Structure 1
Amino acid sequence: MRTVGIIFFVIAATALSAAAEPKYKVPAVYVFGDSTADVGNNNYLPGNDAKANFPHYGVDFPHQTPTGRFSNGYNGIDFLSIHMGFKRSPPPYLSIANKTHSLILKGLRGVNFASGGSGILDTTGSTVTMAKQVQDFAALKSIVASRLSLDKANYLLRKSVFLISSGGNDLIGFFSATNSSPTAAQVGEFYNAVAANYSNHLKTLYGLGARKFALIDVPAVGCCPFARSNHPAGACIDGLNDLAKGLNDRISLALSNLTSELPGMKHTIGSSYNVVMKIVADPLIIGYKDVKSACCGGGKLGAESSCSPSTAFCVNRNEFLFWDRIHPTQATSEFAGLAFYSGSLEFASPINLKQLVEDA
């Protein structure tokens, strides 16, 4: 109870002072998802859950700190939070118990529940599944409602943004389980299962008061160094990309249906798929010299061994699409964050995050 009790002060402080600090464009940000959104939750998990709390992760983060972000610096959630007026992502849920009341009352605004390795399906990866993340948020909401009043809590949540970045681990797990050759029937069942589970998670959050949803879709994982390293010529794995594109289309349809069904629900989907494919097709658009290799790692394309204190890492990190064999560099996340926040329909639809934030 101490963790949930302390987190109450995060939300209470947000609700009571939101109007007094206009630099924040929304009262709070709540984050759910996998390693593309994790800012340190997995640091607190025992066992073999994916972690990034060691060098060379964080080499470009303030004070060269490995925070648990799967990046050389900030990740995409940090940049989206910055565009909404915050310093960076809200803190990891599992870290709050280590903070004092005085620090929390200085203005932490929201919580990050994301866990590296997790997925939309309960059978995917991390012990902190999407369902568990939503359950943790529900527990937090019940404490807040009992202390602030239900009306104040719901007002806060209606105006806040719920960021979700997930699905890649589900896709990779499915592709592997079907020996990289799924049948059409298997693909259809997979799409339906993911879309149904995703819809259920969003409905639960909606029932808890969420109204503004910002989803980040599944990237072109077939072009990441890990996938390319399994191709004789180091090319993208088209089968993986086709699967990702189909899954994104299915989730987009599910979101449109939900928005029509649930009064007051609004959403944006940032297309990490289109961002990656845009950069791969034209690296010079942001001055990249390498869109195939991992900046940190070892072996073919830097992808045959994971980024670790014992592996090499590049010095020209702003010229690489990928930091490790799966995750983007800070430079890529910055580019993507801007595209999702204020970009065209190619990168964010049906509206961008800026429009979602400004929609009353």
Structure 2
Amino acid sequence: MAALVLLLPLLPLLAASALPSSEAAAKVPALYVFGDSTADVGNNNYLPGSNAKANFPHNGIDFPFSRPTGRFSNGYNGIDFLANHMGFKRSPPPFLSLANNTSHRILRGLKGISFASGGSGILDATGSTISMTKQIQYFSTVRSDLTGQLAIEQIDHLLSKSIFLISTGGNDIFAFFSQNRFPNITETQHFISTLITKYQDHFKELYALGARKFGIVDVAPIGCCPYPRSLNPTGGCLEMLNELARKFNEASKALLHDLSSTLTGMKYSVGSSYAIVMNIVNNPGTLGFEEIKTACCGSGKFNGESGCTPNATCCSNRRHYLFWDLLHPTHATSKLVGHAIFSGSKQYASPINFRQLVEDDYY
């Protein structure tokens, strides 16, 4: 009975359209996106030598015209669905696609830009792509571009009403885990503390640049992804990774509560991809999923030993898979996550959901 009660808020969301609709009237002035591969829509396409790319088949097989865009998905990612709920067609364009065109950058800066980069993390040492620090520097450039078009008061108003969406932290946890498979309590506490301290710096920097409304997507149960399962002799979830994700998510909530009580005008919502994905893992059939362990696209055990490449095995019934590749959700999963975070109960987004964050004091 308890499981059924938890699932009830998710069930109506399954009837939503398969793809985002055409762009309607935006409910916020702009959307600025920061984070890792869960949010990347193509920034890494412009990074020579980077291995953290998805701009090739089978990626994008369910995107319009079956086009691989750099999204780590068969179609849209969760940020696309959240953006659509806010009245945009999909996630804003990647910053690096606009970097050499100042006029286009200014124009898009008025509606939003994505700075997210696959492989990045909260810590500068995580990954070798565009760090959170660099992403915020890029945003500072966009703000500077706007000063030639708008008065300072107008820019401040624009940014204060816009949504700053952040989806990050998983790569930091993977990096820590790869260096220490069996951390003791002291090592774990030190890691989480270091991560949260740097995360706090990022929030304060964005606040200083004008951000006031933050939408955060927490770290999913990454220990249940096909890659960690392939490392586990039992084929089960790697609980150490899930425990680290839970500890980080709990510490992030406490951080945001504290920041919102000290930074004037700051408002936030934390969307729990952890709770939603765990609901799917524990109750797949009820939510329309048939395969929760094996990736749709990949190779090796659980299709989790290598990424989705043109030569990889790719399933045909993608709608019924929880995971697209060794670490990322399918379009179907992202659709459910996006709906639950935007409109769901406090189990899936707190202290308010994204809809309430968007509608709060907009007019």
TM exceeding 0.5 = yes
Conserved 8 A contact 1:271-1:346: yes
How do residues 85-124 of structure 1 correspond to structure 2 at under 5 angstroms?
Answer: 85-97=87-99, 109-124=111-126
Partner of 2:333: 332
Between stretches 84-93 and 106-115, larger displacement belongs to 106-115
Partner of 2:32: 30
How far is 1:96 from its partner?
1.3
CA distance in 1, matches of 2:51, 2:358: 33
Supply the AA of the counterpart residue of 1:123: A
TM norm structure 2: 0.90
SS in 1 for 2:231: coil
Partner of 2:138: 136
Conserved 8 A contact 2:33-2:39: yes
Supply the AA of the counterpart residue of 1:255: L
SS in 1 for 2:176: helix
- Pairs aligned (count): 339
SS in 2 for 1:268: strand
Conserved 8 A contact 2:50-2:129: no
Conserved 8 A contact 1:44-1:95: yes
TM norm structure 1: 0.91
CA distance in 2, matches of 1:36, 1:250: 20
Partner of 2:64: 62
Cα root mean square deviation, aligned: 1.8
**Structure 2 residue runs without a partner (length 5+):** 1-22
CA distance in 2, matches of 1:48, 1:39: 15
CA distance in 2, matches of 1:188, 1:317: 39
SS in 1 for 2:165: strand
Supply the AA of the counterpart residue of 1:72: N
Which ranges of 4 or more aligned residues in structure 1 deviate by more than 2 Å?
A: 97-108
Supply the AA of the counterpart residue of 2:65: H
Alignment CA distance shift 1:264-1:22 (3 Å): farther
SS in 1 for 2:129: coil
Percent of pairs identical after alignment?
Answer: 56
Partner of 2:225: 224
Conserved 8 A contact 1:223-1:236: yes
Partner of 2:234: 233
Partner of 1:175: 177
Conserved 8 A contact 1:49-1:127: no
How far is 1:22 from its partner?
7.7
Partner of 1:201: 202
Partner of 1:214: 215
Partner of 1:316: 317
CA distance in 2, matches of 1:105, 1:195: 34
Conserved 8 A contact 1:36-1:165: yes
Partner of 1:288: 289
CA distance in 1, matches of 2:104, 2:182: 55
How far is 1:357 from its partner?
0.4
Conserved 8 A contact 1:175-1:240: yes
Alignment CA distance shift 1:263-1:47 (3 Å): same
Conserved 8 A contact 1:115-1:126: no
Conserved 8 A contact 1:29-1:160: yes
CA distance in 1, matches of 2:123, 2:105: 35
Conserved 8 A contact 2:54-2:71: yes
How far is 1:104 from its partner?
8.1
Question: Which of 83, 86, 109 pairs up with 2:85?
Answer: 83
Alignment CA distance shift 1:203-1:159 (3 Å): same
CA distance in 1, matches of 2:325, 2:145: 39
Conserved 8 A contact 2:226-2:294: yes
